[in-house]
Amino acid sequence: MNVRDVALVGGATTKFGVRASTWAELAQEIGVALFRSVPELRSEDVDSLFLGAAEPERFAFQSHVAPFAAEQMGLRPHRIIQRTELACASGQSAIRSAYAAIASGLSDVAVAVGVEKMNLPSMAEANTAMASVMDRAWDGPHGATAPPFFAMVAQRHQLEYGTTDDQLAAVSEKNHRFANSNPEAQFYEKTFSREKLARLPLVAPPLRLGDCSSMTDGAAAVVLVAADRARAYTDRPAWIRGTGQYSDFHNLANAGSLTDWVGLKHAAREAFGRAGIGPDDVDFAEIHDCFTISEIVEYEMFGWAEPGKGGPFASEGQGDIGGKLVVNPRGGLLGCGHPLGATGIAQAVEVYRQMSGAAPAARTVPDPEWGLVHNLSGSANVHSVMIYQRGGAA
Amino acid sequence: MNVRDVALVGGATTKFGVRASTWAELAQEIGVALFRSVPELRSEDVDSLFLGAAEPERFAFQSHVAPFAAEQMGLRPHRIIQRTELACASGQSAIRSAYAAIASGLSDVAVAVGVEKMNLPSMAEANTAMASVMDRAWDGPHGATAPPFFAMVAQRHQLEYGTTDDQLAAVSEKNHRFANSNPEAQFYEKTFSREKLARLPLVAPPLRLGDCSSMTDGAAAVVLVAADRARAYTDRPAWIRGTGQYSDFHNLANAGSLTDWVGLKHAAREAFGRAGIGPDDVDFAEIHDCFTISEIVEYEMFGWAEPGKGGPFASEGQGDIGGKLVVNPRGGLLGCGHPLGATGIAQAVEVYRQMSGAAPAARTVPDPEWGLVHNLSGSANVHSVMIYQRGGAA
């Protein structure tokens, strides 16, 4: 049997934000939304479920979460069921697992779903859970959680390249503006000028509140199918053409440069190589803007901006509509919020919407043939990349 | 490109038991053991790492565990890195993910590793973590943890079929005896006659201490490679020929029969179908004896014993050497202990040892062509099956 092409044929997300819903209720809600948005999908046709979830054990006091999600969504997977975890990249890992399962013939019709409930009655407990993403003996307990770590990246980038606070704010302004076209975004209808962003409180210098993605509850799901099934669900599939990952280190003491993310370059090279394209072919990208500085470094690592020139790339609008490529049209993690396991899935939903012509006008990417999705996890020590190509209309 | 055959070419386990080691130290230890047991394996050739771990967030206060394990093991995966979680079946899920990745061409040389640290200073906390495997709103908090649930299964099986406590003990006696040939087993060199087992304290009637697998620390790892790489590592590979899973329900209120495990039958049918064999072709099986009653029900569900006749099958030694097939020659979860994510990997290590002629005489399966591995998870609501075939000598 030949390795099979894999098509993304639809998806949905819940409202992202501070939700009153439990983890189980979010899983129910995304089940309903998925079946509504892919009307041809029948429960009994879904042979496999891949759940991306980062910390339900801590956030929702539930483990064995994949069958829990299946039951809440009205699914009874009869080929593969599993949860994947890779912290902030858990969602993309679920999609990659579904891709491999379908390509190899183990699955024909799979759902990849991400669910995360991060807002707890005790936010101290939630923050402690977040600290456990970092090395629990050396890093997390000593304060090296995400905001301080990425603040160090920003400080170093500013020192090495003269990147400015205003250039950081340009990323935040763009992604929040895009989120204004996305009712599912946590910060829908919130506007943030660069001037307003500059007055928000500091979280970890130079990062202010508007430079940081938030603690978010939400869920997202996509349907992935073998090539010969795609037309049953859509006449505008998006094809997975390349995937790459790289795991560089874990303990911060073993990190190399703060601003040269070697792992991202490796993962990108692998994904581009498999897709047979280069960085300049990408029409739009959903990349991991957990902090504004992340998106700036990523511009450089992907080869869209020259080394050290991610700041000007941002302030010149090169990642905006009309620029070199459109970056984070959905609104990014900054505008949409970042429910860890759901983020990578929601990015894929945006790929489908852009490629099928369903994205609202305010964020429509012109003629999008190639889309890229990127997630980092932990202290940018692991990078995950997937590349999609638009399929033709029937 | 064709879908590729996938070979199991070696593996290792740490000592299972109540270990002084931390989670990180167990990961280091299995890294050393793996490279020693597969001497041709070079770190840089390992392109992907699949980690099976059930609850490191609760047991070890560490999330983002896949890169953590990679670093401890001296690996820097450059194709795929992820952790899979499916409670007690997390290890097999890692192997299945590696299989799909290799078969589809995403990986050439992958390590699947399982690490679990369950013995905490506060065993009350560990037990609470175990309760979160069940539905956290409806089941776990009301006492439906593993021992009471499987006790209900045993009570029902005794009521329906007249299964006796002594038949349960026969399973425990066999698996502890096999564990006497396995220095890595938690209960190595512990002997348990049926009479002695009958005097152990009751945990949940009719299950006594010897009917229950234990809280165990341990790690295990295997190397899986594409067909064309197999001969570089061994002249006696074991080939993965079939895989199947089924997710039936989560909340106990949605369970059907306690003694007719429909999900296992579905998963087995899928795996047998892919392998092109039937139950009678299996020479040995590593199946999920988390409790003695589990192994008895599994005899029936796999079709080795008639419905309701799992008890006599056990007491007649049909799962022993010289019986219908050899069940749990490694010593099973009862004899080896059950470090959740490591169990499924350790079962695969036993498959390799049996098929490569490396198992000690006391548990050698005669001429083992076909081996089967089974894990259940949660309240036996999810079942996972893999089938291996022995490769010829070079």
Delimit the domains of chain B by residue range. 6-121+216-232, 134-212+240-390
pLDDT at A325: 98
pLDDT at A393: 53
pLDDT at B56: 97
CB–CB contact A1 B3 (8 Å): yes
First-residue to last-residue Cα distance in chain B: 26
The residue among A356, A361, A306, A290 whose CA lies nearest residue A329 is A361
DSSP annotation of A200 reads S
CB–CB contact B82 A70 (8 Å): no
pLDDT, tens digit, for every residue of A110-140?
A: 999 999 999 998 888 888 889 999 998 899 8
**Chain B residues with beta carbon closer than 8 angstroms to that of A85:** 63-66, 82-85
Please say whether the beta carbons of B268 and B301 come within 8 A. Answer: yes
CB–CB contact B136 A105 (8 Å): no
Q: Is the CB of residue A118 less than 8 Å away from at least one CB of chain B?
A: no
Per-residue burial over B258-289, b = 16 or more CB atoms within 10 Å of its CB, e = otherwise? bbebebbbbbbbbbbebbebeeeebbbbbbbb
Architecture of the B134-212+240-390 domain = 3-Layer(aba) Sandwich (3.40)
Q: How far apart are CA A3 and CA B151, in angstroms?
A: 45
Mean pLDDT of all residues in chain A?
A: 97
Q: Which of B6, B62, B63 to mutate to test the interface with A (most CBs of A within 10 A)?
A: B63
Candidate list B88, B212, B290, B336, residue with the active-site label: B88
The residue among B86, B146, B124 whose CA lies nearest residue B341 is B86
pLDDT at A141: 86
Mean pLDDT of A252-273: 97
pLDDT at A223: 98
Annotated catalytic residue A338: yes
DSSP annotation of B41 reads -
Pick from A81, A86, A134: CB nearest B81? A86
Task: Pick left, alpha or beta for residue A204 (phi over 0 → left; psi -120 to 50 → alpha; otherwise beta).
Answer: beta
First-residue to last-residue Cα distance in chain A: 26
The residue among B121, B182, B118, B73 whose CA lies nearest residue B340 is B118
Burial of B192 (0-12, 13-18, 19+ CB in 10 A): buried
Q: Would you state the structure tokens that stand for residue B2, as one six-digit string?
A: 């064709």
CB–CB contact A78 B250 (8 Å): no
Mean pLDDT of A164-187: 98
- Residues 6 or more apart whose CB falls under 8 angstroms from that of B380 comprise B149, B150, B153, B261, B263, B264, B294, B297
Distance from CA of B361 to the nearest CA of A (A): 36
pLDDT at A389: 98
CB–CB contact A251 B133 (8 Å): no
pLDDT at B393: 53
What confidence tier does A256 reach under pLDDT thresholds 50, 70, 90? very high
pLDDT, tens digit, for every residue of A308-332?
A: 999 999 999 999 999 999 999 999 9
Q: Which of B28, B43, B82, B265 to mutate to test the interface with A (most CBs of A within 10 A)?
A: B82
Q: Which of A 80-99 lie inside 8 A of B, CB atoms?
A: 80-87, 93, 96-97, 99
**CA dihedral over A330, A331, A336, A341, signed as positive or negative:** positive
pLDDT at B59: 94
CATH topology of domain A130-215+240-390: Peroxisomal Thiolase; Chain A, domain 1 (3.40.47)
CB–CB contact A84 B81 (8 Å): no
Q: Would you state the structure tokens that stand for residue B295, as one six-digit string?
A: 């192994």
Task: Pick left, alpha or beta for residue A7 (phi over 0 → left; psi -120 to 50 → alpha; otherwise beta).
Answer: beta
Annotated catalytic residue B338: yes
Please say whether the beta carbons of A136 and B61 come within 8 A. Answer: yes
Its ipTM equals: 0.98
H-state helical runs in chain B: 23-37, 56-59, 65-73, 90-103, 123-131, 146-161, 165-179, 194-198, 262-275, 292-301, 310-315, 332-336, 340-355
Helix axis angle, A292-301 relative to A262-275, nearest 10°? 60
Q: How far apart are CA A263 and CA B79, in angstroms?
A: 11
**Chain A residues with beta carbon closer than 8 angstroms to that of B63:** 54-55, 58, 85, 87, 129, 132-133
What confidence tier does A107 reach under pLDDT thresholds 50, 70, 90? very high
Distance from CA of A378 to the nearest CA of B (A): 7
Pick from A97, A136, A270: CB nearest B61? A136
The residue among B65, B67, B37 whose CA lies nearest residue B53 is B65
Q: What is the mean pLDDT of each run of 10 residues along chain B (394 residues)?
A: 97 98 98 98 98 96 97 98 98 98 98 97 87 90 93 98 98 98 95 96 98 98 98 97 97 95 98 98 98 98 98 98 98 98 98 97 96 98 98 64
DSSP annotation of B88 reads B
Candidate list A266, A338, A374, A383, residue with the active-site label: A338
pLDDT at B287: 98
CATH topology of B6-121+216-232 equal to that of B134-212+240-390?
yes
pLDDT, tens digit, for every residue of A323-368?
A: 999 999 999 999 999 999 999 999 999 999 999 999 999 999 999 9
Q: Percent of chain A, pLDDT > 90?
A: 93
Q: Residue A162: helix, strand or coil by DSSP?
A: coil
Name beta bridge partners: B354.
none
CB–CB contact A132 B250 (8 Å): no
Cα-only R_g, chain A: 19
pLDDT at B39: 97
Q: How far apart are CA B220 and CA B41, in angstroms?
A: 16
pLDDT at A394: 41
pLDDT at B394: 41
pLDDT, tens digit, for every residue of B170-210?
A: 999 999 999 999 999 999 998 899 999 999 999 999 999 99
CATH topology of domain B6-121+216-232: Peroxisomal Thiolase; Chain A, domain 1 (3.40.47)
Amino acid at A279: P
CB–CB contact A103 B105 (8 Å): yes
Per-residue burial over B225-245, b = 16 or more CB atoms within 10 Å of its CB, e = otherwise? bbbebbeebbebbbbbbbbbb
Please say whether the beta carbons of A304 and A335 come within 8 A. Answer: no
CB–CB contact B57 A55 (8 Å): yes
CB–CB contact A97 B99 (8 Å): no
- Kind plus residue range of the DSSP H or E element containing B383: strand B382-390
**Cα–Cα distance list, B300 to A131, B175, B247, B268, B316 (Å):** 46, 18, 19, 12, 14
Q: Which of A 233-292 lie inside 8 A of B, CB atoms?
A: 243-251, 254, 266, 270
pTM of this structure: 0.98
Q: Which of A85, A99, A290 to mutate to test the interface with B (most CBs of B within 10 A)?
A: A85
pLDDT, tens digit, for every residue of A86-100?
A: 999 999 999 999 999
Would you tell me how many other CB atoms lie within 10 Å of the CB of residue B122?
8
pLDDT at B43: 98
